[in-house]
Amino acid sequence: MTTTPAERIGGWLLGPLAWLLVTLLSTSLALLLYATALMTPQSVTALGAQPLKQTILWFVSFAFAIAIWYYTFWLVIAFFKRRRSVPRHYIIWLLVCVLLSVKAFAFAPVSDELALRQLLFPLLAAALMVPYFKRSSRVKRTFVNP
């Protein structure tokens, strides 16, 4: 397998890369919190005392956190390898982040101000980065490896 020499990751591409790395760090911390809850006997007892619907929702949330962590981790590796599929997957990843923020805005028991603030950053990132990843010649020259 040969790789094509491509442009280095730089310029505006450092912003999306930083966003990916920060998201990977935050989802890692969230998974650590989930794992801590599963390892502490008091948390397991408290989780078992919840209604079945709440327990199922907790485990679904845990599964989504694992999926997002894995997808972000895979995308970071592909980003550094400058894979051809990165622009498409980065756009999908941004849209998933927006959907998760909308879900948190609609269903989470937090104040509207906090939920709106958490919704603002993924919306802004998607509004700026989707057109950039679709139209930029630098992106086309950077992500060329199979």
Q: SS3 for 83?
A: strand
Question: Mean pLDDT throughout 103-123?
Answer: 80
> In terms of Cα–Cα distance, which of 122, 70, 132, 124 is closest to 95?
122
Q: Is the pLDDT of residue 144 over 60?
A: yes
Confidence of residue 6 (pLDDT cuts 50, 70, 90): low
Q: How many helices (H) and strands (E) does the chain have?
A: 6, 0
Rounded distance, CA 84 to CA 77, Å? 12
pLDDT tens figures, 50-77: 888 888 888 888 899 999 999 999 999 9
For position 5, what pLDDT does the model report?
Answer: 65
Interior angle at CA 107, CA 103 and CA 108, nearest 5: 100
